[in-house]
Structure 1
């Protein structure tokens, strides 16, 4: 039967970690699924992340004190965050709400709202990976944040207070303890924070492809192409992709940084920014290893072990999803990262670039559309989308099946943006 003639229970827009998790979860409820996605694996944000399933990633970017640093971001004077000046007019709706969210009370409430989801990230990934033969890719090896002096560690005091309130396990380390965990790092870090309950994925792209293959093996139809619009259909919704129309009883919008554009075809206006990141892989000399992902707080980069190599990841670039690449951040951190770990030649000719969907308050958008009960939104996870894709899939499947979600979702409601 042609796709134009078949009607699915659920049509998912987006084939990244969130969309695939949704498909696998609705299939577990006995529902049929179609996934509409351009099909370019390396273009997805879930391909190029650090692979961290972090227990401590409960903080939105809109943090107390960040307002004073915005001019540095706009002028390119901060290695960790950079805003594309030409994109600022497009980002104004996002930036206006971001400034409102950047106060301590909102930041604490956001951390409390994210905590139940983040607390399940590792276990939900493991459960899904076991179903698809990918358990070997996931390790509980911890996550290490590194500081070059006592002042750097002191700057994390408020975060550590909130982490303790949310009962997130962490240990403050001295220089000797850092060396015991990572003996091949240069001796340039005097303090660190270790998150023992955090895990990592050896190859995020490989794991996502296993999820894709599993969804297809269970009967999911994959429609290769970019969705142009979401439209109403009799008794449900439909997705238009080129000259194809794919109908479903429900449509789930999980198209990452491009979700706002598609939502606008139905009149929903979400302030979404592309939280873009770059990475590049490097070879390691014989006898040199990195045992877990590490973050150099002063350097503004992450080093993550990937299949015997190391992935170097830059900080955040705020831009539009389709802005041309600008390698200034990844090129700026590479010399510094080489002073931390003795890696050698790059594997790829050019760095990878991906766009993560960022909301102003740092909370994802998960829930039914206000005016279209057969449309469910599932996007806006920012830098924690890969880790929390499986949890989001479980939430969305429960909404589609008219069941109680397995996690609190009130704070993620689209209604906070009028959706």
Structure 2
């Protein structure tokens, strides 16, 4: 089979790249070993996080680092045997988390975040996925005055970018979410983000619209990618597919494909877990709720109340160690009347991340016809549609809607 472009990776990013190319008249084959939205794009908190101008930064206070090292911070866990290989990456991550570099990050990521809601709205409308989306922002809860004070520091920059954050009392938070218990000291409602009841369902709807436009979705192993003259070929269950251009949007597995072609990029993974729960009695939740110091998010999903954990630094394919889930579940039960677990096993996923916390979107250095859309860390679901648009514009010679320069792989 011959096509214009092969897109490797059917998560939210790869699916959106393929869909935007198809909307521009390109023939596209989307290839993944699993179905669309069944890996990292299934298991996240389902936020279109328009307000995430501050990244999930590396702690810089000694007390915070000690808490992580001693296992006292439920938002973080690590495997000792993974640290030797991760240390150079973590040092670069620590440097990128300096206050002045955080402000530079905010200016850069805002060029994509500014499009995040509109681009999801556009794809949801044509894909029939609007029923998954809800407004109402998300609620951040703080158990200490120090935590609340840290959040207040984000307000001036948020106002500069036209974002709406409002500090509210415990009573006001419970008026918004009556099933919450008053185990927190204060709260902030961020009104701009949207959320969804099934991020995997959204990705599948976008992939179905790709098929309706004439695109193809194929099962296959991306590691079969090979040079074929001036183009590329990959093997799928339905045979070989050939194209002059290839897009690698494989998230945590990108380097498995890129290393054999001589590409060396500092991509690591941040692992995370989730579990679905039934709600006790008449308890209800209408929006995502972050317990900042508890290190977890609870959010209503089609499968129940989803609890998602923070970050685990470990080898990508290491066995599950859901200690964070055990810790945060106990805290979450104090905040919200969670019932029985709705699943037998916790879900484990990997967030692909570069140490500067920015994705790579653009050409692969030294590889004619290869493009990259990887490393979106905690913002993959948020930035999938705008990444798809930006890369499709670059590939088709259109005027890009945002400056792609800061996202180039050449920065490494």
Q: What is the alpha-carbon distance in structure 2 between the residues aligned to residue 261 and residue 66 of structure 1?
A: 35
Cα shift at 1:325? 0.9
Deviates more, 1:156-165 or 1:116-125: 156-165
Counterpart position of 1:3:
none
Cα shift at 1:156? 2.2
CA contact (8 A) 1:228 1:241 kept: no
Counterpart position of 1:198:
193
Q: What is the alpha-carbon distance in structure 2 between the residues aligned to residue 117 and residue 289 of structure 1?
A: 33
Counterpart position of 1:142:
137
Counterpart position of 1:254:
249
Q: What is the alpha-carbon distance in structure 1 between the residues aligned to residue 61 and residue 52 of structure 2?
A: 17
- The match for 1:60 among 45, 55, 63 is 55
Describe how 1:193-272 pairs up with structure 2 within 5 A.
Answer: 193-239=188-234, 245-272=240-267
CA contact (8 A) 1:41 1:47 kept: no
Q: What is the alpha-carbon distance in structure 1 between the residues aligned to residue 226 and residue 89 of structure 2?
A: 25
1:220-263 CA distances to partner (integer Å, 9 max, x unpaired)?
Answer: 22231221154333333333569964321211110001112222
- Are 2:312 and 1:346 equivalent residues in the alignment? no
Aligned with 1:155: secondary structure? helix
1:276-303 CA distances to partner (integer Å, 9 max, x unpaired)?
Answer: 1111111113421111001001111100
Aligned with 1:283: secondary structure? strand
- Are 2:126 and 1:131 equivalent residues in the alignment? yes
Tell me the TM-score normalized by structure 1.
0.93
Q: What is the alpha-carbon distance in structure 1 between the residues aligned to residue 154 and residue 263 of structure 2?
A: 34
Aligned with 1:263: secondary structure? helix
Q: What is the alpha-carbon distance in structure 2 between the residues aligned to residue 212 and residue 159 of structure 1?
A: 36
Counterpart position of 1:152:
147
- The match for 2:167 among 172, 177, 190 is 172
RMSD over equivalenced CA pairs, Å:
2.0
CA contact (8 A) 1:231 1:266 kept: no
Aligned with 2:164: secondary structure? coil
Aligned with 2:340: secondary structure? coil
Aligned with 1:276: secondary structure? strand
- The match for 1:364 among 349, 359, 364 is 359
1:304-340 CA distances to partner (integer Å, 9 max, x unpaired)?
Answer: 0113721111111122321111111111110110010
Cα shift at 1:75? 4.6
Q: What is the alpha-carbon distance in structure 2 between the residues aligned to residue 274 and residue 102 of structure 1?
A: 17
Counterpart position of 1:39:
34
Cα shift at 1:42? 7.1
Task: Report how many aligned residue pairs link the two structures.
Answer: 412
- The match for 1:322 among 313, 317, 326 is 317
Counterpart position of 1:312:
307
Q: What is the alpha-carbon distance in structure 2 between the residues aligned to residue 410 and residue 72 of structure 1?
A: 37
- Are 2:1 and 1:11 equivalent residues in the alignment? no
- The match for 1:413 among 398, 404, 408 is 408
CA 189–77 in structure 1, closer or farther in 2 if over 3 Å, else same: closer
Cα shift at 1:70? 4.1
Gaps of 5+ in 2: none
Q: What is the alpha-carbon distance in structure 2 between the residues aligned to residue 43 and residue 75 of structure 1?
A: 34
Deviates more, 1:50-59 or 1:153-162: 153-162
Q: What is the alpha-carbon distance in structure 1 between the residues aligned to residue 320 and residue 399 of structure 2?
A: 42
- The match for 1:102 among 97, 104, 112 is 97
CA 87–315 in structure 1, closer or farther in 2 if over 3 Å, else same: same
Q: What is the alpha-carbon distance in structure 1 between the residues aligned to residue 243 and residue 200 of structure 2?
A: 28
Aligned with 1:189: secondary structure? coil
Deviates more, 1:157-166 or 1:242-251: 242-251
CA contact (8 A) 1:59 1:362 kept: no
1:76-98 CA distances to partner (integer Å, 9 max, x unpaired)?
Answer: 33211222221123323422321
